[in-house]
Structures are given as structure tokens and as C-alpha cells.
Amino acid sequence: MSHISIRALQKISGETIGALPGPTAIKSGDRTIGLLIPLKRSDPDRLAAVLAKAEQLARKRSRAEDDAALAAIGIDPADSSAPARRSRRPKRGRATA
């Protein structure tokens, strides 16, 4: 199905939406007004394989090489973890009158 009319969208069930093959345009007349993207459950075996591959690749990385690559393109290689970013934020305080 290449598109669904806005009128048809009002009448279809969640099960029908879930069965769509992928992103589907929502049209009003000839105008595309939205995009319906059905959410699918992930395959646990495939997800486990992807995560295992990511961990394997992460073990091969070098912090020094990563920092050098960032510096080469003008990015500060400072620690960008969430706690580090929070520690660099200005402290919010109450203004006093």
C-alpha cells in the first residue's frame, strides 16, 4: 500500500496498521499530510547478535585514537558522558532581589 487516505485512516484498526509493510503516506486528496510508521517488535535473536557485534567492535577501539580523530576535525575530545556534561553546566540558582 503506497498511501492511506485520511478518511481510511479513521476506519482502520491497530492490527491493520501493525501489518503495514513499512512507512505509509497519509494523504488528503493529492497532498501528503503525514507518515504512518508501524512499530514492530524486534527479533530478540537478531537484537542479541547486533549487541554482541557492537560490544566486540567497542573492545577494539582506542580512547587515544578516538580523541585524536575528534581533535583532527576540530571537536574537543573532552569527556562527553552525561555526568561530565552535567558537571560543566552552569549551576542554576535562585535570583535574589
Summarize the confidence of residues 11-27 as an average pLDDT.
Answer: 92
pLDDT at residue 36 is higher than 90: yes
Question: How far is residue 19 CA from its own chain's centroid?
Answer: 22
pLDDT at residue 80 is higher than 90: no
Specify the pLDDT at position 75.
Answer: 76
- If one compares 66 and 27, the residue with the highest pLDDT of the two is 27
β-sheet bridge partners, residue 32: 27
pLDDT at residue 77 is higher than 70: yes
pLDDT at residue 48 is higher than 80: yes
Do the Cβ atoms of 3 and 24 come closer than 8 Å? yes
Q: Tell the burial category of 77 from Cβ atoms under 10 Å away from its Cβ (0-12, 13-18, 19+).
A: middle
Specify the pLDDT at position 30.
Answer: 92
pLDDT at residue 82 is higher than 90: no
78: which DSSP letter? S
